[in-house]
Amino acid sequence: MIPQTFDYTVPKTLDEALGLVANGAKPLAGGMSLIPMMKLRLAAPDHLVDLGKLPGLSYIREEVGALHIGATTTHHEVESSGLVRGKCPLLAEAAAAIGDVQVRNMGTIGGSTAHADPSADYPAALQALEAKIVIKGAKSERTVAAADFFVDTFTTSLEQGELIREVIVPIEDSATGTSYQKLVQPASGFAIVGIAARVRRSSGKIAMARIGVTGLSNRSYRAKAAERALEGTSGSAAEIQHAAALVAEGVDANSDLHASSEYRKHMAIVYAARALVAALARTA
């Protein structure tokens, strides 16, 4: 299908982009979600403001204890960055799991985060990493925890006139191990379920466990009951299985032609156990 006609602006500065967005223009980043939606007429913006060529919005920088990743940094740049792979490998692993090489070359971390697809990969990793999303408006800037950012299906805490400027993720220490495990829907590459696990060992015990879940329900979330069940244990096979069994507890699981809710819940438990085993094996 052909999209409805629209105006198209390539802004020269972030302030110009913010001014246009404040007046109702729709941001365009990699176009990997927005353009298909426009072609299907699920979205019909009058005006697109192309962030892709904005100077200064694509970067990966190390600053005190954290990596700062600019909104238009592509999935490929995240996946292949030595800095991300070395200092926040969970994010690189999630980026590498996205779609195919064409999608990873065009799609951006800001676009994926703002789009909040309930089966997208980054949201699970960002939840497990307790990432922060830096949001810029025309006159203000605020920072929102990933846990508060993803509100519902395709719905975030972004307000009219705001853009994601960057995503901040922690630099991991050697006692922390991470893993992203995903059951892929083969036609699209999206997650039927995806589990991001992040664990830290201290004196032989699991001192910290963070588990981000995607694909299972209307939005990504932290499986807090499972995290609590794991913390303080030694991470034996039985303890991992017990914790993994809690990832889908109380969740209203999605059901579609790819997977029933019962299958998704079962697979969430299977993939949570796999992710936890892999993450624990990576702790020093």
Amino acid of residue 10: V
Query: Tokens 């779609």 belong to which residue?
Result: 99
Residue closer to ligand FAD by CB (options 100, 250) is 100
* Shortest Cβ 35–ligand FAD spacing (Å): 6
Rounded to whole angstroms, the Cα distance separating 189 from 258 reads: 12
**Side-chain half-sphere exposure of 67, counting CA atoms within 13 A:** 27
What's the CA gap between 94 and 90, in Å, rounded? Answer: 6
Q: What's the distance, Cα to Cα, between the start and end of the chain in Å?
A: 52
Closest approach of Cβ 62 to ligand FAD, in Å? 21
Q: From the CB of 200, what's the least distance to ligand FAD, in Å?
A: 26
Minimal distance, residue 233 CB to ligand FAD, in Å: 31
Closer CB to ligand FAD, residue 75 or residue 200?
75
Nearer to ligand FAD, 110 or 235 (CB): 110
Neighbours of 241 (CB within 10 A): 14
Q: In angstroms, what is the minimal distance from the CB of 251 to ligand FAD?
A: 19
Looking up tokens 């995903």 gives: 182
Binding-site ranges for ligand FAD (CB under 6 A): 26-34, 36, 51, 71, 98-99, 103, 106-108, 110-112, 114-115, 117, 120-122, 158, 163-164, 188-190
All residues at 6 or more sequence positions from 263 whose CB lies less than 8 Å from its CB, including other chains: none
Closest by Cα among 216, 227, 204, 222 to 261: 216
Nearer to ligand FAD, 180 or 230 (CB): 180
Q: How far is the CB of 156 from ligand FAD (least distance, A)?
A: 8
Q: Which CB atom, from 107 or from 177, has the smaller least distance to ligand FAD?
A: 107
Nearer to ligand FAD, 112 or 181 (CB): 112
The CB-side HSE value for 29 (13 A sphere, CA atoms) comes to 26
